Amino acid sequence: MREDDCIFCKIANGDIPSETLYEDEVFRVIMDLGPASKGHALILPKHHYKDLCELDGETASKVLPLAAKIGNAMKTTLGCAGFNVVQNNGKEAGQTVFHFHVHLIPRYEEGPVMI
């Protein structure tokens, strides 16, 4: 199900073009418009869920394996040393787009990490 005014519904379902790294029936993985590091990507489900609490179990069970797959690919393609998996729920927690998404943030060197 899509929400009419949701930008990530439109991007995930291809109504708005995006730089897509990966796509299957359930998800689209895109580049973040305001990257926290080089290669910062977002996993978007095609179905609209406001946040983690709305996610159905089957979709939830696929998110971390996909994050691992994309994170591993980042190590090979970008040469990053590691990556953060970040997911915000609620305005107070830093969520700004209210369509569930997971951040994949490549990290290139040791040092303080600001998310």
Exactly one of 50, 52, 95, 107 binds ligand 5GP (CB under 6 A); that residue is 95
Among 33, 60, 81, 113, binds ligand 5GP (CB under 6 A): 33
Of 48, 99, 101, 103, the active-site residue reads: 101
How is 35-95 classified by DSSP, letter by letter?
A: -SSTT-EEEEESS--SSGGG--HHHHHHHHHHHHHHHHHHHHHH--SEEEEE---SGGGT-
Q: Within its chain, how far is the Cα of 108 from the centroid?
A: 19
Count CA within 13 A, CB hemisphere, residue 22. 17
Closest C-alpha among 77, 70, 61, 53 to residue 105: 70
User: With binding defined as CB under 6 A, does residue 14 bind ligand 5GP?
Assistant: no
Q: Measured from the CB of residue 92, what is the shortest distance to Zn ion in angstroms?
A: 20
9 belongs to the binding site for Zn ion (CB under 5 A):
yes
Task: Verify binding: residue 48, Zn ion, rule CB under 5 A.
Answer: yes
80 binds, among ligand 5GP, Zn ion, none (CB under 5 to 8 A by kind): none
101 classed as catalytic: yes
Query: Which residues lie near ligand 5GP (CB under 6 A)?
Result: 7, 18, 30-34, 42, 88, 94-97
